[in-house]
Chains A and B, each alone.
Chain A
Amino acid sequence: MADTAAEQRVRAHPAIRLSGISKSFGAVRANRDIDLTVRKSSIHGIVGENGAGKSTLMSILYGFYQADSGTIEVDGKQVSIPHSQAAIDLGIGMVHQHFMLVHNFTVLENIMLGAEGAALLSGGMARARAELKRIEKDYQLEVDPDALTEDLPVGLQQRVEILKALYRGADILILDEPTGVLTPTEADHLFRILQRLREEGKTVILITHKLREIMAVTDTVSVMRQGQIVDTEPTAQTSVEAIAEKMVGRRVLLRVDKKPPRPGPVKLSVRDLTVVDSRKVPMVKNVSLDVRAGEIVGIAGVAGNGQSHLIETIAGIRRPTQGTVEMNGKTLDYDRLDPASLREEGMAHVPEDRHRMGLVLAFEENENAILGYHNSAAFGNGPFLSISAMREHARERIEQYDIRPPDCRLKTANFSGGNQQKIVLAREMERDPDVLLIGQPTRGVDVGAIEFIHRRIVEMRDAGKAILLVSVELDEIRALSDRILVMFDGKIVGERGAEATEGELGLLMAGVTDAESDRPAAPDLSMIDTTPGQAPAETQIPGERP
């Protein structure tokens, strides 16, 4: 290979070189003997499932944790990073997954925090303002320095985080799952900013579990699995499939055997539903849809486009601002009904986030097996609960769903992600509902359990249930749904059959509707068209540690 002299110089001194890094938390080994070299002026992606150890590794680099063993070199010099200040001094900046901003500070105050210059703020403030102007111009990162941080949209808050790092003179910028909270347009904008940063000579490390992003913007990609780096390659020389395979350790085929649907009468009918969130921002706008008995209707969309609000509103957790929902031909009166009474009417709900909603992690398994059904006559008399009935019921479900370990008195937190999800599914599916709302059925679930869960969902369809499925995993939507609705910005922007291609759905998810499909697509999405549809992109392996 005939590298130019400049390139050789760059190679001689990598921005970062980690050797033999290991880190354990108690009995959990989060990082094992990691070697990683990050070239200067490059965008280096690190992919892996949740819990693969990406964030731990970056936290070590940023001085948040200390490695148990191993060495860190920055710019060719071996360094120790005992705290974040040391990392900042070495020119390392980090944009965290959860923003590290003070909500009631102005943008300027947030940017200055920790880099005030002097004991008095006045001088530093003027300097910061000027410096900010310069950075904004260099990188096209405009944001009003006097705006109150909590008033800014998420995309701008993230920009403040990037500015914070640059203001501290960061040459190496780590971004931890930066697009999780962004709309496709905002994500696209972020990638342009990252490319711009690279052109200006900065090094970017991008942590993500989304393969599309890796393919779209990185120069090099490292794959992590179970605390180890299993591969590092130039992005151009690899493919989505190859990376995915290395991420999960074996090839996953999201193919569910299912018979053609035999749709019956409409069981769930939503008309002109509008929902605003606590800040009065409309999250669901005039949505109408029907779900028939014996069919699975999938709602595809990038996270945060209103799917969660839609499903939680139908389930009675949120109040609709406008519109009606009919179940079994009866209009649901949400002023009177709550999630408990809706369950009695025959609506079951597998929530998107089992840790926040579906389970009480500190409860015993048998207690969670009745959550939401705790007023049912089956579990006691009058105001009392029958412990024996609860345990008997739990044992039955454990048997049916092969929940492991088969111990109904074990604390729920001690089950793996997949088994926790089975506890929720068993509870919601086995009460013979008419309508089943399912959010993110396989988030943080291991591969074996995914197959089981998908099979159960299809069985429920074949038993004549009306199923509304929400998932941000496009492959899951495509594998399970009989009809696919795409949500963007709170609206349903299109409907497709099960045979829809990933590219077609991807355009809809980006908000390119049927009427205006000649508009140029976002660059990251155009990549998708060139990749074969099989990407098992976001299948996730053991989500939680025990």
Chain B
Amino acid sequence: MNNTLPPWANYVLLPAINLLVAFIVSGLVVVAVGENPFKAAWLMIDGAFGSGRGIGFTLFYATNFIFTGLSVAVAIHCGLFNIGSEGQALVGGLGVALACLWLGAYIPWWMVLPVAIVMGASFGAAWGFLPGYLQAVRGSHVVITTIMFNFIAAALMNWLLVDWLRPVGQMGPETAVFAEGGWLPKLTGLMNFLGADVRSTPLNLSFFVALICCFLVWVLIWRTRFGYGIRTMGLSPSAAKYAGIRPARTVIIAMMISGGLAGLMALNPVMGDLHRLTLDIVQGAGFVGIAVALMGRNHPVGIVLAALLFGMLYQGGAEMAFDMPTITRDMIVVIQGLVILFAGALENMFRPQLSRFFLAMHRRGVAPEAEGAA
């Protein structure tokens, strides 16, 4: 019954309807705090896209979500629900920060970047490895272990930052600011060239790293033998076994790739914006990645679009909160939750009605053939 929708309805119409409902409910929340929802919506869209600065911030946030969305998507292709991107990104931040701390003073950013990429990805991969291993070899449910690993990561990083990485005399749990070599260039020049003034935004080179990752993930999943194995494993573990695809190996490597992509997310805030490691670099992006992957139907193109949507929510929401005194930044979190709820958990809410509608249309159009096909 699930596949009676034409592809365009499945990929475009249904998510659009769900999104609309999420925004309507968000509007009701705005009404509840006594503001005009239409004004709020306008402020949000204008804040996100109305200025070069807005666009810069939107893309900056979207960069995080592309990474975590890809992370969740790769795992889902292998039949794994990785909700540990949050923790994997945080641990990845440690790798990025260590690379920048060690090398930033000696070599320029373009030489630090490859090292930071390798270290961020491998730290994230390491944090994805254990849940993957436990799932593949011991049968421990990956959803539950990754939740636990998020908290273990938070405690571990807290300890490392407080007891080891915090410079003397510093209060907060964070590292020292990196030397110049640990700073990724902003995309100011490029955006100026395109006619947008993004001088004061944190948008940086990792946006392109994210786009390159999109392409690489596409190649991996749909154009490599290993990706074929991942998809076989995700769709039918018994067929994978029959085909000689080693289940444990595939699961573990897929989880490591997933963790590595999440770890790369740290490039954006750590090396691109803050230039130091703090405890709140991820800020829920790992969880948003679940929604991004779901809405993007686990395809890189869809993930970029969904990440832009959430980037817009973040940036536009912040602007809205700034301009409307009764609305705080927490409105973003509410809208985010509602979008995940309606576009994710309730994504099939309107499917039966929509299917019936299309079936009726189909019957009316080509009744005799439909009869024969049955």
Contacts and interface: CB of A to CB of B under 8 A. Distances in A.
- Indicate whether A and B interact: yes
Nearest to A375: B225
Given A356-B236, A360-B236, A371 B223 contact: no
Interface stretch (A11-19, A163-171, A336-344): A336-344
A317 B238 CA distance: 10
B244 A316 contact: yes
Interface string A347-384: 00101000011111111000100111011000010011
B228 interface: yes
Contacts of A342: 244
Task: Give the size category of A's interface with B.
Answer: 35 or more
Contact of B223 (A338, A351, A385): A385
B243 A374 contact: yes
A523 B225 CA distance: 54
B236, B244, B245, B359: which has the most chain A beta carbons within 10 Å?
B244
A29 interface: yes
Nearest to A318: B241
A340 B244 contact: yes
B243 A371 contact: yes
A32 to B, nearest CB: 11
Interface in A145-194: none
B238 A356 contact: yes
A372 B228 contact: no
Given A316-B244, A357-B239, A360-B239, A374 B373 contact: no
A546 B239 contact: no
Contacts of A370: 228
Contact of A27 (B223, B238, B370): B370
Nearest to A349: B242
Contacts of B111: none
A362 B242 CA distance: 16
Given A349-B242, A359-B239, A384 B224 contact: yes
A317 B242 contact: yes
Nearest to A316: B244
B225 A360 contact: no
Given A357-B238, A363-B235, A29 B374 contact: yes
A338 B242 CA distance: 9
A6 interface: no
B177 to A, nearest CB: 40
Contacts of B241: 317, 339, 357
A387 interface: yes
Nearest to A353: B238
B329 interface: no
B374 A341 contact: no
A118 interface: no
B242 A372 contact: yes
A546 B228 contact: no
A28 interface: yes
Nearest to B219: A384
Interface string B219-237: 1000111111101100110
A260 interface: no
A361 B359 CA distance: 23
Interface in A1-32: 25-29
B4 interface: yes
B141 interface: no
B248 to A, nearest CB: 12
A374 B373 CA distance: 33
B1 interface: yes
Interface in B160-208: none
Interface string A387-411: 1000000000000000000000000
Nearest to A30: B374
B246 interface: yes
Nearest to B371: A27
B374 A383 contact: no
Chain A contact residues, majority secondary structure: loop
Contacts of B239: 356-360, 371
B4 A372 contact: no
A375 B229 CA distance: 10
Contacts of B223: 384-385, 387
B238 A383 contact: no
A356 B237 CA distance: 9
Given A26-B4, A357-B239, A360-B236, A384 B245 contact: no
Contacts of A375: 225
Nearest to A341: B244
Contacts of B242: 315, 317, 339, 349, 351, 357-358, 371-372
Nearest to B236: A360
Nearest to A411: B3
Contacts of A372: 242-244
A27 B373 contact: yes
Interface string A307-323: 00000000111000000
A385 B224 contact: yes
A85 B1 CA distance: 26
A118 to B, nearest CB: 37
Contacts of A360: 231-232, 235-236, 239
Contacts of A317: 241-242
Given A27-B374, A29-B374, A360-B239, A338 B225 contact: no
Contacts of B246: 338
A351 B241 CA distance: 12
Interface string A24-66: 0111110000000000000000000000000000000000000
Contacts of A380: 225
A338 B359 contact: no
B224 A383 contact: yes
A356 B370 CA distance: 29
Contacts of A343: 244
Nearest to B372: A27
Nearest to A376: B225
B235 to A, nearest CB: 5
Nearest to A338: B244
Contacts of A341: 244
A351 B228 CA distance: 20
Nearest to A315: B242
Interface in B1-49: 1, 4
A546 B3 CA distance: 12
A343 B229 CA distance: 16
Nearest to B355: A26
A367 B228 contact: yes
Interface in B242-256: 242-246
Contact of B359 (A26, A315, A340, A363): A26
Contacts of A315: 242
B359 A371 contact: no
A367 B1 CA distance: 24
Interface of A: 25-29, 315-317, 338-343, 349, 351, 356-363, 367, 370-372, 374-375, 380, 383-385, 387, 545-546
12 contacts: A26-B1, A27-B359, A27-B373, A338-B246, A339-B244, A340-B243, A343-B244, A357-B242, A359-B239, A372-B242, A384-B224, A385-B224
Interface of B: 1, 4, 219, 223-229, 231-232, 235-236, 238-239, 241-246, 359, 370-371, 373-374
Nearest 4 CB-CB pairings of A with B: A340-B244, A339-B244, A372-B243, A357-B242
Given A340-B245, A363-B231, 18 more contacts: A316-B244, A317-B241, A340-B243, A341-B244, A356-B236, A356-B238, A357-B239, A357-B241, A357-B242, A358-B242, A359-B239, A362-B235, A371-B232, A374-B243, A383-B225, A384-B225, A387-B223, A545-B374
